[in-house]
Chains A and B, each alone.
Chain A
């Protein structure tokens, strides 16, 4: 349903390559850019129509609030309070009075307009450089009204890209495990939500244990571990149709699945007789290939974005460490050499870094290192946290964190958190229930 959208992007004016405002996202941003997100203008009849269809009082304000919230959550922008805005939305969209916006210290301004056209939602928006008094970008698109939240995310992606020079990550979803109940008897369900926590949906009923869902780069498929009939196996699920199937025909537990970057293979561990090795299955011809062959535990495989290498977790040195090898299993090389244990390596979509979980002296860390193991940087420390997943632009990591219970074993919780690659802007991601094992989709529109 979510994918059956109609989206026509058309550029109203060519984007001019002025060296206007720039937001540097390569370092921790302690001075987020002040930006004014004007409510999108809406005419009376459009307002009535959308109210009827979407039960939203003012769709223009609602969409601008999505943009505002996204920008704020990124940590790079500081959306200004709307109470201070002097100019009406419809007039601002035509010609902002820059001195008014300057007065409230806005450096960038987002304006726009929503209209109801042929049963569809038409949105146009503009990004303005307040100091230079210039338009930086103008776009319009048309979609079905039910996509209104995605419209807010797409606008944010465009604004983010124009101001930072890098693609955004807002029109995306998170697949994760929803958790409920006491620690000794957790009920776990597969769940999916928009990146900002809205449109939450449960994909399984909680009858069997499910773990570690991962998005396909093509977005419509998910691979995960299910204990259906008490047989832990890797499954492939089409989130549009709900169809699912077991991946391969293995005489034992398969786990730790991920897609290859082209979405055509699943890489995973297969455990037999106390030995876990890494295998792939081609989703087209169903051919299974053994990639690693070692009596130690080899698990948590993750491809490099070009598909040429695999990073994985092995205890062949005696303890859990991170390794890389060619995608055919050759040239195995250990890359983690710091103190402690290392797990859950995940290759960045940009290719230059590997994110990981580290356990050292009773603390868990989320960190990153270069693909040759140098430049290790720990981003966050806690009692228990693991399983980082990259935002599609490689700038943010989402992971989960569990709390320590008290002397009586009470107070357990599991939550999703996100943190910038810079180590700044650490935030809890709100979910309806407790949550773990997050996986970030790629951009839905492009």
Chain B
């Protein structure tokens, strides 16, 4: 019992450390990062190559690609055409405001929505696999609309 308690405390400290460091780098304004409820900021975005963002964001319960998402995917397609030896995994995610099983399906839909768009720009489906994590791997642990918007995403990850 005691051991588990100290373990628990240990985890709490670990969590708060992670969050403190995240906050220290994040102290920008929280307004202007949402359009409707789609995330338009960049603080969790990484890059596949210079100028090629790795992820696109979705509205609540939606799988429709926004104008910004399509632009990001066109950049990814251009980059993939130039690097024909690279295959990718599209990892689809949902926010925490849904049941686990439905969110697994929703993540799969979002990733496929991105996949379909890449294919219309000439990327072969052989080079793209899809993996849904549902709500299991949030990038932001917050319980607020901004955090949820960052978590509703499809991330393009190099597979090789």
B98 near A359: Cβ-Cβ < 8 Å: yes
Q: Counting CB contacts under 8 A, is B106 at the interface? A: yes
Q: Counting CB contacts under 8 A, is B14 at the interface? A: yes
Give the contacting residue for B15; candidates A343, A410, A433; CB below 8 A. A410
Q: Counting CB contacts under 8 A, is B42 at the interface? A: no
Q: Counting CB contacts under 8 A, is B105 at the interface? A: yes
Q: Counting CB contacts under 8 A, is A419 at the interface? A: no
Mask, B102-133, CB within 8 Å of A = 1, is 10111011001100100000000000001111
**B118 CB to closest chain A CB, in angstroms?**
13
Q: Which residue of A lies closest to B111 (CB)?
A: A274
Q: Which of A39-47, A178-186, A242-250 lines the interface with chain B?
A: A178-186
Chain A residues near B100: list those with CB within 8 A: 211-212, 386-387, 437
A to B contact number (C-beta, < 8 Å): 122
Residue of A181, A209, A256, A274 most packed against chain B (CB within 10 A): A274
**How far does the alpha carbon of A183 sit from the alpha carbon of B135 in the complex, in Å?**
11
Q: Counting CB contacts under 8 A, is A293 at the interface? A: no
**How far does the alpha carbon of A362 sit from the alpha carbon of B106 in the complex, in Å?**
19
B143 near A404: Cβ-Cβ < 8 Å: yes
Chain B residues near A432: list those with CB within 8 A: 4
A209 near B136: Cβ-Cβ < 8 Å: yes
B102 near A299: Cβ-Cβ < 8 Å: yes
Interface size class of chain B, counting residues whose CB lies under 8 Å from the partner chain? 35 or more
Give the contacting residue for A253; candidates B11, B102, B132, B143; CB below 8 A. B132
A384 near B96: Cβ-Cβ < 8 Å: yes
Q: Which residue of B lies closest to A404 (CB)?
A: B143
Q: Which residue of B lies closest to A209 (CB)?
A: B136
**How far does the alpha carbon of A366 sit from the alpha carbon of B61 in the complex, in Å?**
21
**B21 CB to closest chain A CB, in angstroms?**
11
A276 near B105: Cβ-Cβ < 8 Å: yes
Q: Counting CB contacts under 8 A, is B18 at the interface? A: yes
Give the contacting residue for A409; candidates B14, B97, B147; CB below 8 A. B147
**How far does the alpha carbon of A269 sit from the alpha carbon of B18 in the complex, in Å?**
36
Q: Counting CB contacts under 8 A, is B141 at the interface? A: yes
Chain A residues near B16: list those with CB within 8 A: 408, 410
Give the contacting residue for B106; candidates A180, A232, A297; CB below 8 A. A297
A182 near B98: Cβ-Cβ < 8 Å: no
Chain B residues near A269: list those with CB within 8 A: 101, 105
**How far does the alpha carbon of A97 sit from the alpha carbon of B108 in the complex, in Å?**
67
**A66 CB to closest chain B CB, in angstroms?**
18
A271 near B141: Cβ-Cβ < 8 Å: no
Mask, A321-361, CB within 8 Å of B = 1, is 00000000000000000000101100000000000010100
Q: Counting CB contacts under 8 A, is B51 at the interface? A: no
Q: Counting CB contacts under 8 A, is A311 at the interface? A: no
Other than the given A359-B99, A409-B140, 12 more pairs (CB < 8 A) read A184-B138, A184-B140, A184-B141, A273-B112, A297-B102, A343-B98, A343-B102, A384-B96, A404-B143, A407-B142, A409-B147, A410-B16
Pick 15 A–B contacts, CB within 8 A, sort by A.
A181-B14, A211-B136, A255-B101, A255-B104, A271-B108, A299-B102, A313-B102, A315-B102, A343-B99, A343-B102, A359-B97, A402-B96, A405-B143, A412-B141, A437-B100
7 closest cross-chain pairs (CB), A and B = A274-B112, A343-B99, A409-B141, A183-B141, A276-B105, A404-B143, A256-B101
